[in-house]
């Protein structure tokens, strides 16, 4: 079984600040890491590989620096890495990102299973997985809690819904977005890291795609635009209340009601 895991490089912390004048995100030092939710997708891939054989490859779209997360995946046990990178891919929203990744996937081989994380910690939309599946015309399932059975032509999983857990059998190829905690991700191994230090990462740019029309990628191919970014205004503004217990209870009730929790 050939598995492909989508991994994204994200800022080290999501405690970012915005320059109040320019409205631009301050990325001082700009330390980055693999999106933590993607570690669960990777671990899921390794567990399936242990049973079924085949390869676990990873794909990431981003600037050349995103090779770092691919190397990290190698150190965890991934077999091959693909970096989808081109100037014209920059500034992509979900539609353009998922389209670019799907083009990259098409030019990289045939995969039986594609795995994504639940969401990222920066853009945080949780939409990329389902849109990749749509471009590839394959079924997809979100909120995957458990892998129950894997066969050559199907996979049985359980998914987390608000009031129930549903068990479903999906024909392959398909895409799954896995929940946190599906498996505990393994740590990168120093031995593997050393052994894979010179392993080639395949870099795909616009010219390697089936569709080479630049207007379908990056900023040009993105219908959404971030018009403005700003920090939450009220959350750190504090309100303090003092007084008799009756007054406090009354205030407290009104606040809870105002926030629509009653």
Ligand X SMILES: Cc1cc2nc3c(=O)[nH]c(=O)nc-3n(C[C@H](O)[C@H](O)[C@@H](O)COP(=O)(O)OP(=O)(O)OC[C@H]3O[C@@H](n4cnc5c(N)ncnc54)[C@H](O)[C@@H]3O)c2cc1C
Restricted to residues 86-125, the positions that interact with ligand X (CB under 6 A) are 92-95, 97, 101, 116-117, 119-120, 122-125
Q: Is 124 in the site for another protein (CB under 8 A)?
A: yes
Nearest approach, Cβ of 130 to another protein (angstroms)?
4
Cα distance between residue 22 and residue 193, in whole Å:
40
Nearest approach, Cβ of 221 to another protein (angstroms)?
9
First-to-last CA distance in the chain?
A: 50
Cα distance between residue 36 and residue 11, in whole Å:
11
Nearest approach, Cβ of 190 to ligand X (angstroms)?
25
Residue 212 interacts with which of another protein, ligand X, none, CB < 5 to 8 Å by class: none
Backbone angles phi, psi at 225, to 5 degrees: -130, 140
Q: Is 163 in the site for another protein (CB under 8 A)?
A: yes
Question: Binding-site residue total for ligand X (CB under 6 A)?
Answer: 32
Footprint of another protein on 174-213 (CB under 8 A)? 174
Classify the C-alpha dihedral 118-124-129-134 as positive or negative.
Answer: positive
Q: Is 248 in the site for ligand X (CB under 6 A)?
A: no
Task: Choose, by CB under 6 A, the member of 67, 127, 156, 189 that binds ligand X.
Answer: 127
User: How far is C-alpha 86 from the chain's CA centre?
Assistant: 20
Q: Is 60 in the site for ligand X (CB under 6 A)?
A: yes
Other CB atoms within 10 Å distance of the CB of residue 22? 8
Owner of token pair 């890291």: 193
Three-class SS of residue 209? coil
- Tell me whether residue 68 or residue 122 sits nearer to ligand X (CB atom): 122
Task: Choose, by CB under 8 A, the member of 67, 156, 189, 205 that binds another protein.
Answer: 156
Owner of token pair 């989808």: 84
Cα distance between residue 74 and residue 83, in whole Å:
13
Footprint of another protein on 9-38 (CB under 8 A)? 14-16, 18, 25
Nearest approach, Cβ of 201 to another protein (angstroms)?
27
Which residues make beta-bridge pairs with 220? none
Task: Give me 247's structure tokens.
Answer: 């007054």
Residue 140 interacts with which of another protein, ligand X, none, CB < 5 to 8 Å by class: another protein
Q: Is 216 in the site for ligand X (CB under 6 A)?
A: no
Closest Cα to residue 66, out of 204, 251, 225?
204
Q: Is 134 in the site for another protein (CB under 8 A)?
A: yes
Residue 215 interacts with which of ligand X, another protein, none, CB < 5 to 8 Å by class: none
Closest Cα to residue 112, out of 195, 171, 30?
171
Half-sphere exposure of 221 (CA within 13 A, CB side): 19
- Contacts to ligand X by CB under 6 A: 6-8, 35, 37-38, 41, 59-62, 92-95, 97, 101, 116-117, 119-120, 122-129, 224, 226, 229
């Amino acid at each position: 079984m050939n598995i492909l895991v989508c991994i994204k490089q994200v800022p080290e912390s999501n405690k970012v600040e915005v320059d109040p004048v320019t409205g631009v995100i301050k990325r001082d030092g700009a330390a980055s890491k693999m999106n933590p939710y993607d570690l669960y997708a990777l671990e899921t891939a390794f567990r399936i590989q242990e049973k079924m054989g085949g390869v676990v490859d990873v794909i990431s779209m981003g600037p050349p620096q995103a090779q770092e997360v691919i190397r990290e995946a190698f150190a965890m046990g991934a077999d091959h890495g693909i970096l989808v990178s081109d100037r014209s891919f920059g500034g992509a929203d979900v539609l353009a990102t998922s389209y670019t990744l799907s083009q990259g996937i098409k030019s990289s081989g045939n995969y039986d299973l594609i795995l994504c994380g639940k969401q990222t910690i920066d853009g945080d939309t949780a939409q990329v997985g389902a849109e990749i599946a749509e471009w590839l015309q394959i079924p997809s399932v979100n909120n995957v809690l458990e892998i129950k059975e894997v066969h050559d032509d199907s996979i049985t999983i359980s998914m987390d819904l608000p009031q129930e857990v549903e068990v479903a059998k999906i024909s392959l190829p398909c895409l799954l977005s896995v929940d946190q905690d599906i498996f505990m991700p393994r740590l990168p191994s120093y031995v593997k890291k050393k052994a894979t230090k010179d392993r080639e990462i395949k870099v795909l740019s616009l010219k390697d795609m089936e569709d080479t029309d630049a207007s379908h990628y990056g900023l040009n191919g993105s219908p959404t635009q971030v018009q403005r970014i700003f920090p939450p205004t009220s959350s750190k503004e504090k309100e303090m209340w003092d007084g008799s217990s009756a007054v406090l209870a009354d205030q407290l009730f009104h606040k809870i009601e105002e926030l629509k929790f009653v």
